[in-house]
Structure formats: C-alpha cells, structure tokens
Amino acid sequence: MELILKEVDKDNWEECVELNVSEEQNDFVASNWYSILQAKFGEEIYPLCIYDGQVMVGFLMYDLDPDTNRIEMCRLMIEHKFQGKGYGRKAVLKLLDIIREKYGKIKFFTSTVPSNIAAQKLYESIGFRKTGEILWEEEVMVIEL
C-alpha cells in the first residue's frame, strides 16, 4: 500500500465526486461534491483525495472550524469497494502527521454520528477519545498531538 493524500483539484475532482460509501453509511458522511463546494466557498477548509498509488480510494477533509475555533477532521470516507483494507486508518495517521507538521502540538478534533460504531472504534484505536460533548448531533472526539 502506497498511501498518498493529494489536494482536490481540476484534474481529480470529478473522480472524487463519483466515490461512494456503502448504502448503510450514506447517513454518516456528507457527499464529496457537497464537501468540495463547502471548501470552495468556505475559509480554511482543506479537501484531500486519498490514493493508493495512482488509484483513488477515498476522501477526507479538515478545517479550522469557525464556530469552535478548532482544527478538526470534518470528513473521512473510503469508497465502498476499498473498505476493510486499512485505508481509513492509514489516511487518518497520515493526516495526523500533516497536522503535527503544520500546527505543532495541538488538540485535534473529529466527530461521529453516535450510531457509526465502526468510525468510533477506528478513531479510538488511533488514540482519539470522546470528550462528552455533542455538536451538530455528533459525538466530539479529540487526540493530543
């Protein structure tokens, strides 16, 4: 596995919006097209495509949330046919390296829909912990970098 994170750009955005999670996961994450539009018109929002070599396998996005003033991973999705192969874990770990390099030692946040047990287990296995806070009907998690 050669995991690479690349910015969404004019050459890959169309492929990115074609990625889909499994049907039972549709309520857990916004569509990639919506996320790309949000990044285009928002500030300090960073959408990234996840590649294994030359093959796009997923999408993630982080931002500086204007409401909470926190740096957070606000999207993570792996194309349904690539799930269960470790891409989500490796992508989050690679993102954490980028965040450490860019921002230093900070608290880094994410959140999950309460019924998304798979995402919660993934994040906890990496070192995120639940804060007890609920924002936008999601459970907030944090990791100290």
Q: Strand locations in the chain, DSSP E?
A: 3-7, 45-52, 55-64, 71-78, 107-112, 129-135, 138-144
We report the CATH number of the domain holding residue 67 as 3.40.630.30
121 domain residue, yes or no: no
125 domain residue, yes or no: no
pLDDT recorded at residue 1: 86
pLDDT recorded at residue 95: 98
136 domain residue, yes or no: no
How many Å apart are CA 136 and CA 98, to the nearest integer?
Answer: 26
Q: Which two tokens stand for residue 72?
A: 């957070």
119 domain residue, yes or no: no
Residue 116 one-letter amino acid: N
How many Å apart are CA 126 and CA 110, to the nearest integer?
Answer: 12
pLDDT recorded at residue 23: 81
50 domain residue, yes or no: yes
78 domain residue, yes or no: yes
In 3-state terms, what secondary structure has residue 27? coil
Neighbours of 122 (CB within 10 A): 16
Q: Residue 52 forms beta bridges with which residues? A: 3, 55
pLDDT recorded at residue 32: 96
Q: Which two tokens stand for residue 113?
A: 């829909």
pLDDT recorded at residue 22: 83
Domain membership of residue 90 as a residue range: 3-104
pLDDT per residue of the chain (145 residues) written in tens, 0 to 9:
899 999 999 999 999 999 999 888 878 889 999 999 999 999 999 999 999 999 999 999 999 999 899 999 999 999 999 999 999 999 999 999 999 999 999 999 999 999 999 999 999 999 999 999 999 899 999 999 9
Report the number of distinct structural domains present in the chain.
1
| Largest pairwise CA distance in the chain | 40
pLDDT recorded at residue 62: 98
116 domain residue, yes or no: no
Predicted TM-score of the model (pTM): 0.94
How many Å apart are CA 3 and CA 94, to the nearest integer?
Answer: 8
142 domain residue, yes or no: no
pLDDT recorded at residue 24: 80
